[in-house]
Structure 1
Amino acid sequence: MTLDPQFLQSGNMTQNQLLMYTAQRMSGRKPILNMGMAIEIARELDPQQFRDSFDYVVGKSDALRSVFRFADGGARRMVIEPAELEFELEVLDFSGQPEEAAQWMDQRIRQRINLKKRLFDSALLRIAEDHYIWFLCQHHLICDGISFANVVTHVGNRYAQLEAGDESGFDLPPYSDLVQRDLEYYASDEAAVSREYWERMAEEPLPEFRMYDRGTEDGITDFTRIHRHLDAELVGRIKTAIADETFRAFSQDQGVFLVLLSALILQLRRATGNSVFTVGIPLHNRLTPQEKITIGCFFICSPIRVRYNPDDTFSDLYLQVSKEYRKMLRHYRHPVIAREGERNWDVTFNYVNKTFPDFAGAATKITWLQAGAYMANAFMGTQVHRFNTGGALTVEWDFNLGIFDTPERQETAMRDFEEAIEFGLAGPDAALKEFA
């Protein structure tokens, strides 16, 4: 899609929002961009106080009150008043019925969101006297993973205020500032340089992409999500390899991400037989302390391109991935340019270095929900996060059920990734061709 700053200004939206709005319109009623979290709160709650706290944050957030409507010949993001949302948070009793609560959330997140009326849904599910699950669903147009954590922070802070009898309140930074920030960037010399970078990358056609002998012609809009874990012992070994500079990085977290991304390249090699891979990397795109606490959709997805050489070592692959990632970071703010009719990337790999906060002093436990639908031309998405405290990482595998149509195919993909991690740690100087 061509970048048109004037259209974005009149539409009061970012380029990323325009892309997602277009994708949702093309997908009809499919909930391809519904995002949901089940936020377990280990304490007794006052339901009305919780409602009041949630409503307060909605009233302070222009992102949560955003709707998208077609007017004056184009899509427009509009911020409406709280009363126009016509929403009251439900409180449901599932005491002693955690499985039924999970089924309810699985069904609820699959419901279509009307972009013209309200882009979120929420409910408080009581599981026991001192155990609640806060169900929160938002359309991706108004949120990303960090934004979910920010909502929890702000609602929790307001709840704690009300609990203490403090009516002072607080304001939230506006999301709308991002639109103006992007428009100023697009007019800059920096943006012109980045445009040239993506144009050069687009000159090289991407090879045909098939995973485990299945291609885009097999894709459907039905997806499944499988939760997998990289235990604390494995994550500890990755961190040790970074600390002793087997794999060099600017930070430990960046090193973990780059090791896992390198392992993904090996998995893709085994799955496809290709030698060139393009991976879409979502970046949080929050440049200031204020933006880091703002509710709204900031993320941008940009690709890196990696070339497989069977005689290279895992250390060589890691170094190449690291260099390509650093290059991409210099240009990610400009939208990707692709050849006409060609995909932007093969798969996506999302690493979210964010632990969710407590809620009003109580521990939380997060389960990332999936609505069971996405675009038919997407093969697979991998999200790695540490939303919950502890040394382990959670890996969320989103599989296209037309391509990964059996549990065996899904297991093969996950196992290949985990074996690639072990291969890199066990023999960083071993030739990649040994990973048969």
Structure 2
Amino acid sequence: MAQQVIMPKWGLTMTEGKVVRWLKGEGDSVEAGEPLFEVETDKITNSVEAPASGVLFQIIVPEGETAEVKAVLAIIAAPGETPEKSAGGAASAEAPSEAPAAAAPEKKETPASAPAGEGEFARAMPAARKLAEELGVDLCTVAGTGPRGAITMKDVQSAADAAFDGINASPKAIEFARKKGIDLSLVTGSGEDGRITKADILKAMNPAAEQPAQAAPAEAQDTILPMDGVRKLIADNMHASLNSAAQLSVFVELDVTEMVRLRADLLARNKRNPEYRMSYNDIISYAVCRALKRHPIMNSTLQEDGIHLHPHVNLGIAVSLPNGLIVPNVKKADTMTLEELRTEVRDVAGRARKGGLNMDEISGGTFTISNVSMLGVDGFTPILNPPETGILGIGRIIEKPAVKDGEIKIRSMMTLSLTFNHMTTDGAPAMTFLRELGDMLENPGLMIM
């Protein structure tokens, strides 16, 4: 019996997902449990496994499109089974047996045996379907030459080119007209034998523009980066964060010479182990967990029923990716030793960059650290990761003159910035937390008290 493939729901806040890539094409055999497609949400991009074995009979939601959770994305059929084509929509208890055929737009006369008839589903490869959308080609008017009559990208391109049959225009002019949606039958050509050039199209688009005797170099155009995918989701989340919390940032400059010495001692102690790593971020993460246990209001989240004080620290680590930012968290970080915590932090950060996180690891955080020291920045005002109460910004460590024991000496100095939700806590408790954290970093021995 046919099996529906639906958009998964990862976490309570997920309402929709974007199909980034199908790992199988229509007609391919699939095995239950093997990766079938990739989904992108505001938090994560991950592959989804096939729910059953069989043949990928129909892809309903093509690559690049967004669908709501529980929406039907595809149909997997048993070998030899030919279920009715589905128009998609919310998942039902059983695979569709009599799905109404999608109404096709009016089309020109075509041979009845080649293209899909009116009201029928046009069988097309996912890439061909995407190309048809870009070129404005009605798939119901295209005859497929692929396996079992499926429409290929070449078929779509041929159909698009056919629209320009009989037009005396250069290939570049045709391509430009297709992108701009220009009807070349309305353009007068100035080339040889009335051939239409790109310049003729530009002149038709802007008839008032003066044509110079000699064509000037085309003026540089803006590069437009679409505000979609992860970039749009991050933008929406950051805007929502600022709208849903009364955010205030405070700063403190620290003399972390002793923390620098502690790290050097740990590295020297483990110098025979070529795999050993210990960063300032590891030590700061450990100190943050100690300070949060002493100031539980900073380890809280603001939810609909009130302020939740959490018994453990689920420490979020902001990780920069080529296309955005993700914040995995280490569960119960407050129960770990410094060595255990550094291992866990490296593990989640590494898998965040490689795309190997699960939903549990990017949800349920209680406090976040954002370290920009590697960018050479002294301080900044981080934006809260809702519904958390606080986020700590870590700047670079730099040697500069400072007063120590009444004398001017060269010391290792660092700036911390704490953004907190003034709806959850007042300034004094937040600043007290930051000051105690600073004391621990200036005198690491305080971390064990």
TM-score range, shorter chain: 0.3 to 0.5
- TM-score (structure 1 length as normaliser): 0.40
Larger radius of gyration: 2
Q: Which has the higher helix share?
A: 1
By relative contact order (CA 8 Å, sep 6+), the higher-ranking structure is 1
